Each structure stands twice: as C-alpha cells, then as structure tokens.
Structure 1
Amino acid sequence: MPVQMPSPEQVAEGASQILEQIKADIEYDAFRTASLNYSDDWQCFTGFPVVSEWKLEQDAAPLFEEGLRALALKASVHALTGDDRAAEIAIAVPVDEMTHAMLAQAQLLHRIADVHKIAIIHQTDQEHTDYTADSYTARCYRAAWGEPPARYWLDHDEVTRRRAHLASLYESIGMGRSGREHSLTFEAVA
C-alpha cells in the first residue's frame, strides 16, 4: 500500500529544524570543509556539468547548501513516514551529485546524524532524479526556504537535453557513453 505523503508544510517544518540541527552541530564545519575538499574526485561527466558555465570554485559552496537542504527534506519525509522509499523524493541531478560528495564524508555525517537522531536517506537504486519545478519536492522546498535556485534545481527534461548535448561533445573527443568508456590509448611508461 502506498505511503500517504505528508503535506509540504509538515515536511518544510521538519526539514528546517533538521537543517538547523546539522548546522549547529560541533562537527558541521569539519563536515562542510571535507565535503567541499572532495573536489579532486569530482570528475562526474553528467552531474555537475549540466549546470551552465559550471565552475567548481564558484558553485561548490552554494551547491553544498542545496545538497544539505535536499538531505534535510528527505530526512524530514522519513521522520514523518518512517519509510525509506517514500523519503527518496525527486532531487535535481546537480543537487544529487553534491549529496554524493557529502555522503562520502561518512563518519562525520553519520556522527552528526546519530547525535540528532536524523535518518540520512540515500540509496542509488531507489533515488529519483526526475525533479520538476512543480513536483512534491519543489513544493516542500518552497514551503521551507522559498524558490529553489533554478541554476541547480534543473527540471529532469532539461537535464536530459543537456546530457545529450554533453554526450555528443564527449563523443567528439573519443569519450563514449558520457565518460563510461573511451577509445584513448595511453603510452606505457618505460
């Protein structure tokens, strides 16, 4: 039986409190720093690059805030429903990509979550990146913090269009399947 989703206002209230708890935690600064320093491994070909004129140095901090808000929304839905699948609400691709950088800081994030009894929800085979500006997620976000920044909260159809454009550019330099394979040959070091 499908779970009855809580109202956007209920989710917003919980998400705002969760976000405040995370930011007030003694380990928050270390978590933020570690997440933003993850940049040497941020070579995703289809997540961050869908943002127009993406620049890691300029976009990382605001996108971190959006990732944190996304995790807070998901945690709030989970707190209200107790259901992991229901909590996997639709998230925009660039925001989801940032949550991966945050989740990579496992020990810090888990300690923060444990202290505040917050369920951090993310399972790749259950995630939804089909976010739209009129979705349940968008309504919850608006109720909590106002309009989601369109630079990062891109509609799924627009992400699909941009990914197709990127794929053709990658293909032109020998990168197949958007970076999942390539035809480049590297010379062996003697």
Structure 2
Amino acid sequence: MSTVIEPKRVAERARKILETWEADEEFERLRTGCAMYSKDWDDFYGYPIIVDYDAIEDAPALFTETTRVMALKSAMYELTNEDEKAAELPAPVAIDTMSHALCAQFTLLSRVQERTGIRFVHMTDMEAGDQGGTWDWGDFTHQCYRAAFGPVNIRFWVGKDETERRRQVLDGLYAGIGVTERGKKISIDFASV
C-alpha cells in the first residue's frame, strides 16, 4: 500500500458502508442465504478451528463479523483508489471462510452493489497466507475493526499462532481418516468401509 491510511479513517467509512448495506432491501435475504450455505460448504481448516462450532447456531454472529470485515475491505478499496491488494485485509480464517459463503450469493450481491454503489471486495489471489491465516491481534485489520465496531467476537477472531496450533491438531486428526495436506488431498478407501 503506497498511501498510509489511518485506521480511524477506514473505520468511519466502514461504519457508513455497513449502515448502507444493512438498509438495503435485500440485506436480510443475504443473511439468510449465508446461513443456508452451511448445507453445501465443505471446510476442513476454517470453521473447525472454532471450539464447538455449530454451522446453524454460529451463522448469525459469524455473518455479523464477516459483513463488518467486508465493510472494512470496501472502505480500504475506496480510500486507496481501488487498490485490491491493500483492500484485501487479513481476516481470521473462520471469517474468511464465511466471506466465501457471502460471495456465493453472487446475483444478490450484484444487485446490492448496483443499488448502493459500493463494491464488495474479496480477492483470493491477493490474500497473504493460507485461507487468510495471517490476521493477528493488534494488526491493521484489528485496529480498524476496533475503531469501527468495538471489541471483536473472540470466538471467531483466533490469532495467527493459535490458528496454526489448532490447524496442526486438525492435521493429526484428519490424517487418521485419509485427509492430508490441509484438506487438499483425500484418500479414503470407500470399498473397504
């Protein structure tokens, strides 16, 4: 990012963006659609790092956290003259995973973007780390979030080191059933089961 943007400035714009999205006539449908996405989403290393994760029960709070982060990204996108790399703020893996569910509501998101004039920003090729696992306490994203929305929901905001520790635990558990390379390879002998 060539221009330094103060977290307070990002926060001010993000709050306005989120208010605009929430006022949109189809925002509630977006929330509902993301909650329903739990039936179709396979994920080995994003949601499972949340202790006692429940796809149905956690969806509302996770959606709130995700739309807040998306508002921060959209604010950065605007404030940096549409710099996609600067706008792809690191996010905790569970929130990054929910952002994929949000983006899967493509037609609906397109209409919201058209009505509000605000772009939803999520570019996987601009993310640092594996599945957004570079977020950490006190970083720029965290500073912007606190300035805009107050304290994070610590259930979903798992820092970089703890995320990796939990992923290593999952590595060991999954390997026993034939899931390796962080879910990228699956070798299960269905004929013998």
CA contact (8 A) 1:36 1:61 kept: yes
How do residues 79-98 of structure 1 correspond to structure 2 at under 5 angstroms?
79-82=78-81, 83-98=83-98
Q: Residues 10-89 of structure 1 correspond to what in structure 2 (within 5 A)? A: 10-82=9-81, 83-89=83-89
| Contact 1:171–1:178 (8 Å) recurs in 2 | no
1:180 is displaced (CA, Å) by 2.2
**Alignment check: 8 A CA contact 2:38 2:56 kept:** no
- TM-score when scaled to structure 1? 0.94
The unaligned stretches of length 5 or more in structure 1 are none
Task: Give, as a single letter, the amino acid of the residue that structure 1 aligns with 2:146.
Answer: R
Q: Distance in 2 between matches of 1:154 and 1:182?
A: 26
Residue of structure 1 aligned with 2:185, choices 171, 178, 181: 181
Unmatched segments (≥5 aa) in structure 2: none
Give the match's secondary structure for 1:125.
Answer: helix
Residue identity matched to 1:112: V
Identity %: 39
Q: Structure 2 counterpart of 1:149, which letter?
A: N
Question: What root-mean-square deviation, in Å, do the aligned CA atoms of Structure 1 and Structure 2 show?
Answer: 1.4
Any idea what the Cα deviations from partners look like across 1:11-65, whole Å, max 9, x if unmatched? 1111001111111101111111111111111220011001111111221110001
Equivalent position SS for 2:124: coil
TM-score, normalized by length of structure 2? 0.92
Structure 1 residue 104, shift from structure 2 partner: 0.2
Name the structure 1 match of 2:124: 124
Contact 2:92 2:158 in 1 (8 A): yes
Return the letter of the residue paired with 2:108: L
Residue correspondences, number: 187
What is the 5 A alignment of 1:137-176? 137-176=141-180
Give the C-alpha shift of residue 106 in structure 1: 0.6
